[in-house]
Every structure is written in structure tokens, then in C-alpha cells.
């Protein structure tokens, strides 16, 4: 498929997405699409998850978007300065991987494109690794009958998953729906996973889990092409916690990031898209005037002028994403 054909197909997919989700508008209206990325590597590997693009592949996407769309800066977005002639696009990255600094940022700066980096505080914790990355990597190396125990529940590795033999409960589902605040349970989980296979000692795997340090977050924030936002402190599913606990976690994140970058933090990308309408309102009162979701989960969310849906460029979120993913990789 040639470049022109790819661009036409991508434009059709974007238009279909806008129509489906109520964003479609004729030229002159303040319509835009928010794209969500996660990690960038050198090899386009999807061995551990399907969220990673290679640096070269990512640059091709950015070049296409820059040529055919209007990529908004933070200033554009805050001031409602939209193009009347092109599709307006916002680029975001979740999680705060080091690869966002060493691979993605040079591409963004080369093409003078802006992106939001939504960053957790997990890089400041003892294990410095997101629990979801730990489980994704370890499941590629674990052996049958390896076991993990959390809150008295045993999870055994069978058929490439850690599940409870009696209930069939999957450990990922258990972790995501756990309502305890903080990171103690997840620290225990990561510690047990590392005892099964310590991937942190494998240099070739660092791109798939290593987070930015405080110094690296600060370095990233100095780029005019980056706006730093919150991704929660512990990457907890904030919609699963009490509102009080969720607000406290975001407060902690805001204080942590602002101390590093010496700038205000007014944007948030919700981990796993998990939120509640009450949390939206609570965070607005804390100064989070731009809140990024992944799929509206409540009927009133689309009516709030500070809450925005996103879609990710990876295949498992639906047919449109699968097609776009295939087009980019051809």
C-alpha cells in the first residue's frame, strides 16, 4: 500500500471514529482527536504487550500526522486554537517509560510536534516497575505450577496465566479491582514475580519496563514539545478506589511532579481509563482542567467540557484500531 493510500485510509478511519463517537464536525468547529501511545522500542516487538511501536515506525506515523493533520500544542488546546482546514490531533503518552525520553522525544522534537506525557510516581518506589509490565514479562518466562500468593489467595501459573485454582480468578483482574489504596499489594506482587524471573537484570528487556527517574522527568519537562501530566502516583485504577483515596493519590502525584518540573500540573490521563464522575469534579477543583479518559464509561462524561476521550494505536481495543495498526505496519 502506497503512502497516499495509507493516508486516505487513515483519514477515513479517523472520520468513522469521529462520527461514531459524536465528534464529527464540518470545518471551523472545534473538533479534535486524541491519540494515546505508551512505549517505543527499537524492534516493534509485541512479545510482552501490543502497546509498543518501533522508533522508526513511530516516526513514520508522526511524519504522516504532521503533514496531513494539525497537531495541537498545550497552548493551542488551552486557548481553543484549532485549525479550520485540517483534522486537529492531540498526542499523548501514558506511564512515563524511559523510552519516551530516549526514543520518542527526539522524534517529536525533530518534527516539532507536541505531546502530553502522563507519568506515575512508581519510578520513585523500591522496585521502580509497573506491576502490569512485571506480569506481562514474567508470564513469558514462568514455568507451570509457579505460584504467587496475595492476601491469602494462591495464584498458580497454568496455561500462561496466574489463576486461582478454586475460583478461576485471574490475578490481573484481582489486582485491577482491588480497592486498597497505595502500592503495598502491588509491591508484594512485583517482588514475588521478580523471585520467579528477575527481568530487571536483562539489559535487552529494559525498554519494556524501565521508567524515568526524577532527573529524567525533569530533563523531559525542559522540552518545549512536552507537557507533563499526572497518571496517578501508583497507577491504581482510580475508579475502583473510594473518592477520598483517589483524590489523595492524585494530590500526591501532583505534588511529586510539580516538585520535579517546577511547573504546575493541570492535566491527568487516568490509568486504565478508570474514573468516576465524582472524581472528575473533585479533580477539577484541584486544578485539573484537562482530564483524559479511555472510553466514556458514564452517561454524563461527554457533557463535561474538561473531560476528553482518547483512543490508542494498538490492536486489541477494537476493529478500527486493528485496521489502523495493520495499515501502519504494512
Please tell me whether residues 85 and 231 are part of one structural domain.
yes
- Choosing from 203, 228, 256, the residue where a domain stops is 203
pLDDT score, position 313? 75
pLDDT score, position 67? 85
pLDDT in tens, 177-232: 888 889 999 999 999 999 999 999 999 999 999 999 999 999 999 999 999 999 99
**Residue whose C-alpha is closest to residue 279's, from 248, 256, 308, 310:** 248
What contacts 148, CB < 8 A, 6 or more positions away?
154, 155, 162, 171, 189, 192, 193, 196
- Choosing from 148, 174, 203, the residue where a domain stops is 203
Please tell me whether residues 55 and 107 are part of one structural domain.
yes
For every residue of 305-330, DSSP letters joined together read: TTEE--EESSGGG-HHHHHHHHHHH-
pLDDT in tens, 40-89: 999 877 788 778 888 998 998 899 888 888 999 999 999 999 998 888 89
With a pLDDT cut of 90, the percent of the chain lying above it is 63
Q: What is the CATH number of the domain that holds 65?
A: 3.20.20.370
Number of H helices, E strands in the chain: 12, 14
Grid cell digits, residue 279: 472524581
Least confidently predicted of 133-147, 197-211, 289-303: 289-303
Please tell me whether residues 105 and 238 are part of one structural domain.
yes
Q: CA–CA separation, 305 vs 285, rounded Å?
A: 14
Please tell me whether residues 49 and 150 are part of one structural domain.
no
Q: CA–CA separation, 243 vs 247, rounded Å?
A: 6
Q: CA–CA separation, 328 vs 323, rounded Å?
A: 9
Please tell me whether residues 122 and 167 are part of one structural domain.
no
Please tell me whether residues 114 and 137 are part of one structural domain.
no
Please tell me whether residues 248 and 108 are part of one structural domain.
yes
**Residue whose C-alpha is closest to residue 51's, from 39, 35, 36:** 39
Please tell me whether residues 177 and 235 are part of one structural domain.
no
Please tell me whether residues 227 and 269 are part of one structural domain.
yes
User: For residue 171, what are the domain limits?
Assistant: 131-203
pLDDT score, position 68? 82
pLDDT score, position 323? 44
**Residue whose C-alpha is closest to residue 245's, from 176, 183, 306:** 183
Task: Tell me the CB-side half-sphere exposure of residue 122, using CA atoms within 13 A.
Answer: 31
Confidence of residue 17 (pLDDT cuts 50, 70, 90): low
Please tell me whether residues 93 and 60 are part of one structural domain.
yes
Please tell me whether residues 171 and 259 are part of one structural domain.
no
Contact between 194 and 187 under an 8 Å Cβ cutoff? The reply is no
With a pLDDT cut of 70, the percent of the chain lying above it is 84
- Choosing from 170, 203, 236, the residue where a domain stops is 203
Please tell me whether residues 295 and 250 are part of one structural domain.
yes
pLDDT in tens, 268-287: 999 988 899 999 999 999 99
- Total domains in the chain come to 2
Amino acid at each position: 500500500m502506497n503512502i497516499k493510500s495509507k493516508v486516505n485510509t487513515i483519514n477515513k478511519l479517523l472520520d468513522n471514529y469521529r462520527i461514531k463517537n459524536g465528534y464529527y464536525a464540518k470545518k471551523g468547529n472545534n473538533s479534535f482527536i486524541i491519540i494515546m501511545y505508551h512505549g517505543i522500542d527499537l524492534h516493534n516487538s509485541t512479545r510482552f504487550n501490543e502497546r509498543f511501536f518501533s522508533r522508526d515506525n513511530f516516526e513514520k506515523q508522526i511524519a504522516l500526522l504532521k503533514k496531513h493533520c494539525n497537531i495541537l500544542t498545550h497552548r493551542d488546546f488551552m486557548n481553543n486554537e484549532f485549525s479550520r482546514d485540517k483534522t486537529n490531533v492531540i498526542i499523548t503518552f501514558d506511564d512515563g517509560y524511559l523510552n519516551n525520553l530516549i526514543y520518542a522525544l527526539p522524534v517529536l522534537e525533530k518534527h516539532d510536534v507536541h505531546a502530553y506525557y502522563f507519568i506515575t510516581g512508581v519510578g520513585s518506589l523500591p522496585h521502580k516497575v509497573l506491576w502490569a509490565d512485571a506480569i506481562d514479562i514474567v508470564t513469558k518466562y514462568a514455568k507451570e505450577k509457579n505460584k504467587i500468593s496475595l492476601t491469602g489467595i494462591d495464584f498458580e501459573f497454568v496455561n500462561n496465566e496466574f489463576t486461582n485454582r478454586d475460583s478461576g480468578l485471574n490475578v490481573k483482574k484481582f489486582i485491577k479491582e482491588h480497592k486498597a489504596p497505595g502500592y503495598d499489594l502491588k509491591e508484594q506482587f512485583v517482588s514475588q514475580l521478580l523471585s520467579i524471573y528477575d527481568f530487571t537484570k536483562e539489559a535487552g528487556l529494559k525498554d519494556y519496563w524501565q521508567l524515568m527517574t526524577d532527573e529524567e522527568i525533569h530533563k523531559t519537562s525542559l522540552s518545549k514539545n512536552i507537557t507533563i501530566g499526572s497518571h496517578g502516583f501508583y497507577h491504581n485504577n482510580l475508579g475502583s478506589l473510594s473518592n477520598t483515596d483517589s483524590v489523595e493519590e492524585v494530590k500526591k502525584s501532583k505534588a511529586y511532579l510539580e516538585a520535579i518540573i517546577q511547573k504546575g500540573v493541570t492535566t491527568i490521563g487516568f490509568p486504565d481509563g478508570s474514573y468516576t464522575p465524582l472524581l472528575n469534579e473533585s479533580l477539577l477543583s484541584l486544578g485539573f482542567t484537562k482530564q483524559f479518559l479511555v472510553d466514556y464509561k458514564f452517561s454524563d462524561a461527554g457533557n463535561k467540557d474538561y473531560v476528553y476521550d482518547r483512543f490508542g494505536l494498538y490492536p486489541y481495543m477494537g476493529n478500527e484500531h486493528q485496521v489502523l495498526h495493520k495499515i501502519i505496519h504494512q
